[in-house]
Amino acid sequence: MESKKQPFPETATFACLIQDPEQQRQRGQEVAALFSGAQRIQELSDGYAFSFPADPSWASKLLEFILFEKECCPFFTFEMVFEQHHGPLELRLRGPEGVKEVLRNTAWLDGAVVE
């Protein structure tokens, strides 16, 4: 079965669907703490790639992150890459034009060195 990628609507907005400001603040802190564990951040043409330790606990944390975020921030494309020979676990956050600016304005990249 072939999967067809649906184009992202040009009129789409980048907004978190969590409406409660306190929940947004709390989630922002949780995600910032998670991303502080990134060993490397690389800019992509349509987003960013975050490298984490090749550890099962990190895989679980990142999958939990994806499952939550895909509901509240549906404009992201999420990719998890498990490198061969137990190399780093990579999480790629991608999306349409403008998604990199969204990520730059989050605490996820706050003070991070981006390659």
Residue 92 is predicted with a pLDDT of: 96
Residue 94 is predicted with a pLDDT of: 94
Query: For the chain, how many structural domains are there in total?
Result: 1
Contact 99, 14 (CB under 8 A): yes
**Residue 43 CB neighbour total at 10 angstroms:** 14
Q: pLDDT tens, 74-83?
A: 889 999 999 9
Residue 56 pLDDT exceeds 90? yes
102 inside domain: yes
42 inside domain: yes
Q: How far apart are CA 8 and CA 95, in angstroms?
A: 8
Q: How many residues does the chain have?
A: 115
Q: pLDDT tens, 11-26?
A: 456 667 677 788 888 8
Tokens of residue 47, six digits: 């987003």
39 inside domain: yes
pTM: 0.80
56 inside domain: yes
CA dihedral 29, 51, 40, 77 (to 10 degrees): -70
Domain that holds residue 49: 21-109
